[in-house]
Amino acid sequence: MNVLKPALIGLAFAIGGCGGTPDLYSVTPPAVDESVRIGFGAVEVRDVSLPTYAAADEIAVRDETGKLVTDAGTLWADSPERAVALELAGHLARLSGARVASEPWPFEAFPDARLDVRFENLLAGGDGQLRATGQYFVGVPEGRRERSGLFDLSVSFDPDGGPQAIAQARGQIILDLAKFIARNGLR
C-alpha cells in the first residue's frame, strides 16, 4: 500500500497539470495624441463598476444568438475593474495634464473632484463591435458643479482577431470614454 501512495500522488499532479496554463491578455493603452482642458486640477477616479460578466477574469463575447460565451483558458491579465480604473485615470491625466489617480487617493491634499463610472454594458459582440454604455458621476466638495451623464460608445474590432483584438478594442474604448468624460463631465 505504501508503494501505491507516491504513485497516486504523482498521478494526481500529472492529471492536475493537464488543464494547462490559461492564456492571459493585457490591454496596451493606445497613445493619447490630444489634450482636453478640464475644470479641475486634481481628480480621483473613485469607483469603476462593471457588470458581472465584464468584471470576471474570463473574456466574454456575445455570440450571434445573444448568448455570452467565455473560455476558462482565455483570461484578462489583470482584474478588469482595477485595470479599467487605472486605464481611465491614466488617460485622463495624459489628456488633461491634471493630477489624476484611481482610489485610494495617494496625495495628502484632497482631489478637486471625484469620478464614479458605472458600466451597464462592456461587451464584445461576434459582429465585431465592442460596446460600452453606462453613466458617470462627478462629485465636487460642497456640491458645486456636480454633474452626471450617460455614455454609449462603440469600437470596431476584427472578430477573427480573437482575444487580442478584443483587448485592443477595450483599450480604445476606455480612451474614448476618458475623452468623453473630460469634455462633458470635467469641464
- What are the tens digits of pLDDT across the range 16-49? 445 579 999 999 999 999 999 999 999 999 989 9
**Can you give the length of the chain in residues?**
187
Superfamily of structural domain 25-184: ABC-type transport auxiliary lipoprotein component (3.40.50.10610)
- What are the tens digits of pLDDT across the range 160-180? 999 999 999 999 999 999 999
Please say whether the dihedral angle defined by the alpha carbons of residues 36, 115, 173 and 155, taken in this order, is positive or negative: negative
What residue type is assigned to position 68 of the chain? L
User: What are the sequence ranges of the domains in the chain?
Assistant: 25-184
CA distance 15 to 34: 52
Q: Name the DSSP letter for residue 76.
A: E
In terms of DSSP bridges, do strands 113-125 and 99-102 run parallel, antiparallel, or are they unpaired?
unpaired
Number of separate helices (H) and strands (E) present in the chain: 4, 9
Give the distance from CA 176 to its chain's centroid: 12
Is the pTM higher than 0.85? The answer reads yes
